[in-house]
Chains A and B, each alone.
Chain A
Amino acid sequence: MRSKQTQVSDRSKGKAGWGLKSAAWFGVLYLNLPILFIVLYGFTTDDASYSFPPPGLTTQWFAVTWARADFWDAFWLSVQVAFLSMLIAMVLGTFAAAAMYRFKFFGKEAVTLLILLPIALPGIVTGISLRSAFALGDIPFSYFTIVLGHATFCIVVVYNNAIARLRRSSPALIEASMDLGADTFQTFRHVILPNLATALLAGGMLAFALSFDEIIVTTFTAGQQETLPIWMFGELSRPRQRPVTNVAAIFVMIITFVPILAAYYLTRDTDDVAGSGK
């Protein structure tokens, strides 16, 4: 069954020329080879310069990193910030997407722009705006000021995923559900939510990643606290133990690899749900 499926889709997709194929592979290698260098330099015995090829290989940096309390503090702060930002973004982003999909109203374009703005404007603008607002309002920097900034630019990610899925799903499904006697909540629970769930989850994961990675806005909203990226930035300017940063990076990559795959499988098949085409 599986092979039949592949055959069919292969036929309808056609074959790419070698030029296109190599250009695509070039892009993929460009995007991924540098990550291998991070891994490689995590094992190097040279902790003060970037010599290539590495003079020797060792696993000692893994133990060194594991024992560093400051690494774990930064890591857990980042996880907490990203999780809370993700939750806020998921609620607000879904609300916005539902309203924008379902209704036409005056000023709709302005609302689209407002949602898009935090990610369309350079991060430094968001960062310095928030900082000057906190300064003017005498708000002390804390865990919550970081979340405030992160959630703001995460909304758009969830919104994009949700509205893309809504636009792709057929209004006929909702009408059919209503015709069959389901009320608003039942339709939401049994038709809209299952249809939307994977897109929301994927959007939420992207929001989590965005927040987990963020350094530019965070530098302005964090005060003394160190999220993982800020901790790493500090590590970069230290002259010794450079591979510790690499080990931290490898650790983070392994942890995020699972959700990426999950997000992919979550959004992959749903485009072709029966009856969902317009």
Chain B
Amino acid sequence: MTQTDLARPRSLSNSLSTFLYQRPRFVMTLLLVPPLLWLGIIYLGSLFTLLAQSFFSIDDFTAQTIYEPTLATYARLFTATNLNIIFRTLAMASVVTIISGIIAFPLAYYIARFASGRMKALFYVAVMLPLWSNYLVRVYAWKLILAKEGAIHWSINSLGLGPVLDWILTLPVVEGSSLSTSYIGTTLTFVYIWLPFMVLPIQAAIERVPRSLLEASSDLGARPNETFRKVIFPLAIPGIAAGSIFTFSLTLGDYIIPQLIGSSRPFIGQAVYQFQGTAGDIPMAAAFAMVPIVIMAVYLAIAKRMGAFDAL
């Protein structure tokens, strides 16, 4: 089969092949145009619509959008209440990213460097299964676990540590009647949901470290600890940065988790959702949605400098 393919004299496909081979720019255009058209029109187009909407305003009496450029909506954005929402979301996203990094790193490192054969398959599935199973149900699982009558409260009470948990729940920032209505619950759930996004890029980054580099390091007299600190960890940083893009960004925009688990104090996502839905104030929702965009633009610029884009 292959033989006849190869032996065939200049056929149509052959001349077309030569034609394409001699015109790499043409091939490149052919390949690039469909994805760029899709992303350019559908995605960028929508983003610009959003940007445009944020410069419109809403009529207080008729609740109709006034299609005249104005900065009034942005002026309304920077009130104390809204700044609080932004600050709260940023703090949550940072905490979630840091905790995810701390939990994900040893796991990723272990999978990449030490697990092999069946063990590696098991770990891989253990990271991928949660990523694949339904997002909403996993949030719901934590609602089950964190509820006042649920498993964690039950186990802690069985251990006789109930008063300690109650005391923790009265602390200033944490405050909530049970874990499922406190920031502890929100954080635990966020970390749980986004953790695989942190594990995978770190694992990939560590796996990409050539073995020869580690051998060179130990040949030059470095102990395993030193090799880790001076070779593996620095090379894993792009992976951590790449993972943090996901954990940070996903936390910034999520409105399901804080709605189901946590105190009723809103995050950016919920604010945007409410402005466009119940309030019908699309300009305000658009202006509010600009906040995570600006934050992510800054974040991506930093992540890029740390080599995150090469680790994706």
Q: Which residue numbers of A lie inside 8 Å of B, CB to CB?
A: 6, 9-10, 12-16, 20-21, 23-24, 26-28, 30-32, 34-35, 37-38, 41, 49-53, 88, 91-93, 95-96, 98-99, 102-103, 105, 111-126, 128-133, 135-136, 148, 151-152, 155, 160, 164, 181-186, 190, 209, 212-216, 219-220, 228-229, 232-233, 236, 245-246, 248-249, 252-253, 256-257, 259-261, 263-264, 268
Question: In the docked arrangement, what's the CA distance between A113 and B300, Å?
Answer: 9
What are the residues of chain A within 8 A of B253 when measuring CB–CB? Answer: 121-125, 216
What are the residues of chain A within 8 A of B224 when measuring CB–CB? Answer: 14
Nearest A residue (CB) for B253: A122
CB distance from B269 to the nearest CB of A (A): 5
CB distance from B38 to the nearest CB of A (A): 6
What are the residues of chain A within 8 A of B113 when measuring CB–CB? Answer: 13-14, 16
CB distance from A133 to the nearest CB of B (A): 4
Which of A16, A37, A88, A92 sits near B114, CB closer than 8 Å? A16
What are the residues of chain A within 8 A of B211 when measuring CB–CB? Answer: 12
A117 with B43: in contact, given A30-B192, A35-B138, A249-B137 (CB under 8 Å)?
yes
Inter-chain contact A129/B134, CB cutoff 8 Å: no
Inter-chain contact B34/A152, CB cutoff 8 Å: no
Cβ of B217 within 8 Å of any chain A Cβ, yes or no, is no
Cβ of B170 within 8 Å of any chain A Cβ, yes or no, is no
Question: In the docked arrangement, what's the CA distance between A119 and B199, Å?
Answer: 17
Inter-chain contact A122/B282, CB cutoff 8 Å: no
What are the residues of chain B within 8 A of A261 when measuring CB–CB? Answer: 125
Inter-chain contact A6/B145, CB cutoff 8 Å: no
CB distance from B154 to the nearest CB of A (A): 5
Question: In the docked arrangement, what's the CA distance between A38 and B145, Å?
Answer: 9
Which of A10, A88, A117, A229 sits near B136, CB closer than 8 Å? A229
Inter-chain contact A123/B49, CB cutoff 8 Å: no
Inter-chain contact A31/B195, CB cutoff 8 Å: yes
Which of A95, A105, A125 sits near B34, CB closer than 8 Å? A95
Inter-chain contact A115/B28, CB cutoff 8 Å: no
What are the residues of chain A within 8 A of B46 when measuring CB–CB? Answer: 126, 129-130, 132-133
CB distance from A169 to the nearest CB of B (A): 14
Inter-chain contact A124/B273, CB cutoff 8 Å: yes
Question: In the docked arrangement, what's the CA distance between A113 and B149, Å?
Answer: 46
26 A-B pairs with CB atoms under 8 Å apart are A6-B117, A14-B224, A24-B106, A35-B130, A37-B151, A92-B34, A96-B35, A117-B39, A118-B39, A119-B246, A122-B249, A124-B289, A125-B289, A125-B292, A128-B289, A129-B46, A130-B46, A136-B49, A160-B312, A213-B135, A214-B135, A216-B256, A219-B273, A253-B129, A253-B134, A257-B132
What are the residues of chain B within 8 A of A135 when measuring CB–CB? Answer: 282
Given contact pairs A117-B39, A129-B47, enumerate 15 new A-B contacts (beta carbons under 8 Å).
A20-B114, A28-B123, A30-B192, A31-B192, A37-B144, A49-B147, A92-B34, A115-B35, A121-B253, A125-B47, A129-B43, A183-B18, A185-B16, A253-B129, A253-B132
Q: Using a CB-CB cutoff of 8 Å, which residues 36-95 of chain B contact chain A?
A: 36, 38-40, 42-47, 49-50, 53
CB distance from B200 to the nearest CB of A (A): 10
